[in-house]
């Protein structure tokens, strides 16, 4: 879809893109200035493999202040984006014959990280009506002794759903009982619109569960820094060390300029985060209303991230431009071909019937795009 959209754009076609997975804001200026200063000061060389000590200290302070979890710098690994931390942790922990629980709908990279470690993802259902929390019956039916880990992502990409504390605690207890490592992807931690975000590891400690948790975090979404490639992981030192060894051979360290900018992001003025969050909340309310007003569409209100995940299943099996719409790939393609709007089919996230709309774009574009989707839907026979 993205390639097609890029081709159409290159042809001068007015394409509206709801597939974007990053904030549309620029990186805040004080963070850019810190990156510029790092370059001017000649801070352009390798850093310590697991990350600059000053940055890891700043991360520890952030984790204590915002997430209520204490770590020492040796428990932290800074990576080229959180993606590299997630890749590292799967490489360090999993191997042939292992299985790892991944909840569906899933961010497309989770099953692939598991497969790249020669392990197999075990796809477990979630309950759409319940903020996409796990279907614990499905989970208990799928437990085997091969399972070595579980990946959770709340707030979630693609659903925007946020799990309640009870669901996280229940999963932590199951993980502890079965000796699974819990990988908690919390990259949307600061984009929570109703209520407070709670880290999985905080609950693990608070409830004295004793599960092994690796928390993976990113500066990409919180500070609009996707291109700087800075993320990190926090967890038990032996696992972090194993991850650092893999990273050391793959990329040496995360980029030095991004780490300097990262220190400023974590320790500097946080009003930029609140401002972006306010804009995202307004856009969320706006797009959810518009989507629910479309004929045959229902969309739950996502608690976080910047994705809406409406249900388009009432259009499955019908005809668009004379072609059978058998899945959401067909529906997304029909919408693109018909009204030049790019969306992401839910089938790719293991969620047939749903389509993902990113609202990391202006309200004007949201309005224009959803108006176009309406006209496309009205022509489905
Ligand atoms: C759920 C989730 N985890 C991790 C990432 C990757 O973040 P980073 O840019 O830090 O690699 C993304 C990016 O889209 C994401 O959606």
> Is the preceding omega at residue 105 within 30 degrees of 0, hence cis?
yes
pLDDT of residue 20: 84
In this structure, how many other beta carbons lie within 10 angstroms of the beta carbon of residue 321?
12
- State the Cα–Cα distance between residues 57 and 77, nearest whole angstrom: 11
Atom of ligand 1 nearest to the CA of 107: 1
Ligand 1 in reach of 83 Cβ (< 6 A): yes
pTM of the model: 0.95
Atom of ligand 1 nearest to the CA of 22: 14
Ligand 1 in reach of 156 Cβ (< 6 A): no
pLDDT of residue 8: 87
Ligand 1 in reach of 189 Cβ (< 6 A): no
Ligand 1 in reach of 21 Cβ (< 6 A): yes
For the chain, domain boundaries: 2-21+272-378, 29-267
The class that CATH gives domain 29-267 is alpha beta
DSSP helix/strand/coil, 104 = strand
Give the residue from 11, 105, 8, 106 showing the smallest Cα distance to 335: 8
The 3-state DSSP composition of the chain as helix, strand, coil percent (nearest 5) reads: 45, 15, 35
> If you measure from the C-alpha of residue 370 to the centroid of ligand 1, how many angstroms do you get, rounded to a whole number?
26
pLDDT of residue 175: 98
> If you measure from the C-alpha of residue 29 to the centroid of ligand 1, how many angstroms do you get, rounded to a whole number?
22
Burial 40-77 (b: 16+ CB within 10 A, else e): eeeeeeebbbbbbeebbbbbbebbeeebebebebebbb
Atom of ligand 1 nearest to the CA of 82: 10
pLDDT in tens, the chain (381 residues): 777 878 888 999 999 999 988 898 999 999 999 999 999 999 999 999 999 999 999 999 999 999 999 999 999 999 999 999 999 999 999 999 999 999 999 999 999 999 999 999 999 999 998 999 999 999 999 999 999 999 999 999 999 999 999 999 999 999 999 999 999 999 999 999 998 999 999 999 999 999 999 999 999 999 999 999 999 999 999 999 999 999 999 999 999 999 999 999 999 999 999 999 999 999 999 999 999 999 999 999 999 999 999 999 999 999 999 999 999 999 999 999 999 999 999 999 999 999 999 999 999 999 999 999 999 999 999
Q: Which CATH architecture has domain 2-21+272-378?
A: Alpha-Beta Complex (3.90)
pLDDT of residue 200: 98
Q: Which residues, listed in sequence order, are joined to residue 182 by a DSSP beta bridge?
A: 150, 213
pLDDT of residue 233: 98
Ligand 1 in reach of 23 Cβ (< 6 A): no
């Amino acid at each position: 879809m993205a390639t097609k959209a890029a081709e159409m754009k290159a042809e001068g076609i007015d394409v509206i893109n709801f597939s974007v997975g990053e904030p549309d804001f620029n990186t805040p200026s004080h963070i850019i200035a810190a990156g510029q200063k790092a370059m001017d000061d000649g801070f352009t060389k390798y850093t310590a493999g697991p990350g600059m000590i000053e940055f890891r200290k700043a991360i520890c302070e952030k984790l204590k202040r915002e997430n209520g979890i204490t770590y020492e710098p040796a428990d932290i690994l800074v990576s080229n984006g959180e993606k590299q931390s997630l890749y590292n942790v799967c490489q360090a922990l999993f191997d042939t014959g292992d299985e790892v629980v991944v909840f569906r709908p899933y961010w497309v990279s989770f099953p692939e990280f598991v497969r790249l470690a020669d392990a197999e993802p075990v796809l477990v259902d979630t309950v759409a009506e319940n903020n996409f929390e796990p279907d614990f019956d499905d989970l208990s039916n799928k437990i085997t002794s091969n399972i070595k880990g579980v990946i959770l992502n709340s707030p979630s990409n693609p659903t925007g759903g946020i799990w309640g504390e009870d669901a996280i605690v229940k999963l932590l207890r199951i993980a502890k009982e079965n000796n699974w490592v819990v990988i908690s992807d919390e990259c949307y931690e600061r984009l929570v619109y109703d209520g407070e975000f709670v880290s999985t590891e905080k609950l693990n400690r608070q409830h004295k569960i004793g599960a092994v948790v690796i928390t993976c975090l990113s500066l990409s979404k919180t500070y609009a820094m996707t291109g700087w490639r800075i993320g990190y992981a926090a967890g038990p030192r032996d696992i972090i060390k194993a991850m650092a060894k893999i990273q050391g051979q793959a990329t040496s360290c995360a980029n030095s300029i991004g780490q300097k900018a990262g220190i400023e992001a974590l320790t500097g003025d946080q009003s930029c985060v609140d401002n972006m969050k306010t804009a995202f909340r307004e856009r969320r309310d706006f797009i959810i209303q518009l989507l629910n007003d479309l004929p045959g569409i229902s969309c739950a209100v996502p608690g976080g991230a910047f994705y809406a995940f409406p249900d388009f299943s009432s259009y499955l099996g019908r005809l668009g431009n004379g072609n059978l719409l058998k899945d959401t790939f067909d529906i997304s393609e029909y919408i693109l071909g018909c009204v030049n709007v790019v969306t992401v089919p839910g089938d790719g996230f293991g969620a047939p019937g749903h389509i993902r709309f990113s609202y990391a774009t202006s309200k004007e574009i949201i309005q224009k795009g959803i108006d176009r989707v309406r006209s496309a839907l009205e022509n489905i026979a």
